[in-house]
Amino acid sequence: MQNKKKLVVLTGAGMSVESGLSTFRGAGGMWGQHRVEDVATIDAWYRDKQKVLDFYNIRRKELLGVKPNIGHMVLAELEKDFDVKIITQNVDNLHEQAGSTHVLHLHGELMKVRSCGPGAEVYDLSSENYETRLGDTCPKGYQLRPHIVWFGEAVPEMNTAIDIVEKADIFLIIGTSLQVYPAASLLHYVPAKVPVYLIDPNEVSTKSRQVYVINKGAGEGMLELKEKLMKYL
C-alpha cells in the first residue's frame, strides 16, 4: 500500500460543468451577470457587503441542487490504486461528495464562512442553514464573510500545493484554462520526468512542456484516462 504512485490532480471549473455548475469564464454562466469587481474582491465587500453575501447565497443554493459527475466519481475510485491528491481551484465540495479524501482548496470553500476578526476562524455551513446575512457574526462579534479567496487576495494554500506537486509521479489537469494565477503556475513545479495529462474539451495552452491532451469533458475524459493510467500499476 505504501508503494502507490502519487497521482496529483489540478482541477478547475470545467470539472464541475457536467454537474450543472456554471463556470467563471463560460458564456451564459452566473458570472456573466456579475462583474468580478462587484462580487469577488475585497473592495466589493467593503463597498456592498449585502450584495456580496447575496451572490454567494445564490451560489450555495445552486451547489445544493447538483451532484458529483462521472469525472468526480472516477477520481475518487482511483484512490484504490493510486495515492491521489487533488488540488482544486473550485469552491464547490463535489470532490468530497464523490468520496475523494485528499482535497486541497486553493480558492476557499463555498460551504464555509470565516470571521472578519483577527483570528479569521472558519465555520462550516449546513445544507439546511446555508445563507449568510449582514449581522451574522462569529462568537467574538465579528461579521462572517464567505470563506473564498477573492481576486487580489493571497492564496494561503499555495505553498502546500507546490509541495504536493513537486512529489508527483503523475500529474493531471482537468477543466482549467490555466489562466488564473498563481494556480496556473503549478505546472512549472511538476518534476521534469513526470508525465502530464490534460483533460479539457477546449484548447489549452501549456507552452513549456509535453502534455498528453484528451479533448473531452471531465466524465468522458476521466473514463479514457483511467484506462491509460493502468500501465503505471
| Catalytic machinery residues | 107
What is the rounded CA–CA span in Å between residue 173 and residue 187? Answer: 9
3-state secondary structure 107-144: CEEEEEEEECCCCCCEEECCCCCCCCCCCCECCCCCEE
What is the rounded CA–CA span in Å between residue 199 and residue 219? Answer: 10
3-state secondary structure at position 177: coil
Cβ atoms within 10 Å, residue 12: 28
Vertex 190 angle, CA 189 and 192, to 5°: 115
Cβ distance 176 to 11 under 8 Å?
yes
- For residue 193, the one-letter residue type is K
What is the rounded CA–CA span in Å between residue 117 and residue 25? Answer: 32
Q: Which grid coordinates are listed for 52?
A: 456580496
Closest by Cα among 179, 173, 122 to 146: 122
**How far, in Å, are 42, 106, 134, 231 from residue 113 at the CA level?**
15, 15, 13, 42
